[in-house]
Amino acid sequence: MPTTFKLEPEDYKRQVARRFDRAAPSYDTYAKFQQQVLQQLLQKLPHKALSRVMDLGAGTGQALASLCSHSPAAQCVAVDLSSSMLGTAREQCSYKSAEFVCADAEALPFAGGSFDLVFSSLALQWCLSPAILFAELSRMLDKDGWLMFATLTQGSMPEVTEAWQGLDDNDHIHHYMSFEKLIEAVESETGLAVVSKQLSKITMWFDSPQSAIHSLTKVGASLIAADQSAISPTKWKAFLAQYEQQRATSGVPLSYQVAFVVARKKETALGN
C-alpha cells in the first residue's frame, strides 16, 4: 500500500487497472519475482480442506491451479481490478469451477462470511486505505477463516531510488508501509489475528539496468502514484548509467522487502 499518492482515488485505481490491462500479454514472461513470492506463499496454505477460496489480485491466474488442487471440491473465485488480466486467467484456467470477478479489493461485491480463505500475492500494495482494506477482507471471511497474503513493504527497490538521486527530485517508486505498521493495520479493529508473519528480502539479478526496469513495467508495476512529466532521453540515459554502477558479480540487482502474513478471523468478530 503506497503511503503517498498525488491522484484522486478514482483516478489512481483507473491508472492501476489500465497499467495491468496493458501488461496482461507480457506478464507471465516477466513475472519471475512474482512467481518466486507466490511459491513461498503457497507453502503456507493450511493443511485442511477449504470450501470457498478467493484469489484476490489474481492477475493471470498463476495461483489458481495450486489453490484449486489444494481443495478440489472448493469453489475458487479469482478477483482482480484488471479485466484483461482476468481474461488471460480465464483462458489459462482448466478448472471449470473457477469464477472470475472484476472488482476492487477495498469494495468487494460479496456477502459477508462468503469465504474460508482469502489469498493474495503481491496485490494489496496497490490499495489505498489499510483500514478499509483489512476490514473488508475480515468481512469476507467465515468463522475461523484464513487471510494469507504477501505484499511489498518499506525499503523495496532501493536501487532505483539510489540511481535517481541527484538527477531529479521526483519519486520514482511507491512508498510502502513499514512491516510494523502493516501488521498493526491487519489487527487494528478488523476482527483479524495474525498467526504468522515474516519479512524477507528478495533480490533479483539482471543482465542490465534496462532488464531490471522491464521486470517492473512489463508486469504493470511501474510508478502510478506520482503525476510526472515525461522523462527526457538524456535523463533516462543518465539514470541507466547511475544504475549500472550498482552492478555486482551476479549482475544488476533489484531488491524487495516482502511481508508474508497469515491471519485468522476471530470468533468474536463474526457479528461484524
Mean pLDDT of 15-42: 96
Cell of 19: 497499467
pLDDT of residue 7: 66
**pTM summary value:** 0.92
- Say if residue 160's pLDDT is above 50: yes
Query: Could you tell me which CATH class the domain 9-157+173-206+255-269 is placed in?
Result: alpha beta
- Say if residue 3's pLDDT is above 90: no
Residue type, 19: R
Total H helices, total E strands in the chain: 10, 7
Mean pLDDT of 93-120: 95
- Say if residue 43's pLDDT is above 80: yes
pLDDT of residue 175: 82
Helix (H, G, I), strand (E, B) or coil at 136: helix
- Say if residue 270's pLDDT is above 60: no
**What does the mean pLDDT of the chain come to?**
91
Q: Domain coordinates of the chain in residue numbers? A: 9-157+173-206+255-269
- Report how far Cα 61 is from the mean position of its chain's Cα atoms: 13
Mean pLDDT of 126-145: 95
Output DSSP code: residue 107: B
- Say if residue 121's pLDDT is above 70: yes
> What are the respective helix, strand and coil percentages of the chain, to the nearest 5?
35, 25, 40
* pLDDT tens-digit map of 196-252: 999 999 999 999 999 999 999 999 987 544 444 567 899 999 999 999 999 999 999
pLDDT of residue 96: 82
Helix (H, G, I), strand (E, B) or coil at 218: coil
φ/ψ of residue 115, rounded to 5: -130, 150
Q: Which residues of 213-251 are buried (b: 16+ CB within 10 A; e: fewer)?
A: bbbbebbbbebbbeeeeebeeeeeebbbebbeebeeeee
